[in-house]
Amino acid sequence: MIRQPFPLFIPGVRVTANVMNARNPRLVMMDNHFVINNTTTLTDTPLSFEMDGNAIYAYKLFISYTTSSSADLVYAWRTTPGVTPARFTHSNARDVPSLNSGAKSIHRRPSTTTPIFAGGSGVNNFHSAKEEGTFITPPGGGSATLQVAQATADASDTTIYGQNTNTFVVYERIE
């Protein structure tokens, strides 16, 4: 089924700023690094955004992180009740042997609440995870907040990198 997410513009139709701005992609970046250690409890990060009601949003999430191979990273979305995500994830498998070893990767279509594991190879080695998908919002709108934890509690730091567009989400209303 092909849907027209926005009205067609024809002569005589009044165009509002709200209609035009709804088409614009939005970028949300983490301003600072976010560090966790010794926790397997999902914790809210500063990466969060609001969505209008009765809408569908497409998004792309990019995470830059470091973590030890004993801790690894877990991430998920915390959404307002009624917001329905469809997620497509790409991350390193757990227990990455080394930084450039051609490690196994995981490509999943997880359920709404499934935490995603992203492996690490040491606190000085940068890794990345990517997720794409959609959020369908209820009439009152909603929000989405990225949450992170360690897969196994470890004293070493697991860092989600902010600044300079390292960890960010691009989202746009598509209907």
Band of the pLDDT at 164, cuts 50, 70, 90?
confident
Tell me, yes or no, whether 90 lies in a domain: yes
How confident is the prediction for the chain on average, in pLDDT? 87
pLDDT of residue 15: 75
Tell me, yes or no, whether 122 lies in a domain: yes
Tell me, yes or no, whether 165 lies in a domain: yes
Tell me, yes or no, whether 155 lies in a domain: yes
pLDDT at 19 over 80: no
Tell me, yes or no, whether 15 lies in a domain: no
In the beta sheet, which residues pair with residue 9? Answer: none
- CA 145, 107, 148 angle in degrees (round to 5)? 30
- CB-count exposure of residue 8 (10 Å: 0-12, 13-18, 19+): exposed
Task: Measure the CA–CA gap between 29 and 20, rounded to whole angstroms.
Answer: 23
Tell me, yes or no, whether 10 lies in a domain: no
Structural domain containing residue 116: 23-173
pLDDT digits (tens, 9 = 90+) for 51-105: 999 999 999 999 999 998 889 999 999 999 999 999 999 887 776 555 565 667 8
Per mean pLDDT, which of 16-25, 93-102, 135-144 is the most reliable?
135-144
pLDDT at 1 over 60: no
Domain count, the chain: 1
Tabulate helix, strand, coil % of the chain (nearest 5): 5, 50, 50
Torsion-angle region of 124 (φ positive above 0: left; ψ -120 to 50: alpha; else: beta): alpha
User: What does pTM read for this prediction?
Assistant: 0.87
What does the block give as tokens for 13?
A: 């139709």
Per mean pLDDT, which of 5-14, 37-46, 62-71 is the most reliable?
37-46
pLDDT at 132 over 90: yes
- CB-count exposure of residue 143 (10 Å: 0-12, 13-18, 19+): middle
Tell me, yes or no, whether 5 lies in a domain: no
Task: Measure the CA–CA gap between 147 and 45, rounded to whole angstroms.
Answer: 6
Tokens 């498998």 locate to 93
Cα dist from 64 to 31, 55, 158, 164, whole Å: 13, 29, 11, 11
Q: What is the CATH number of the domain that holds 166?
A: 2.60.120
Tell me, yes or no, whether 17 lies in a domain: no
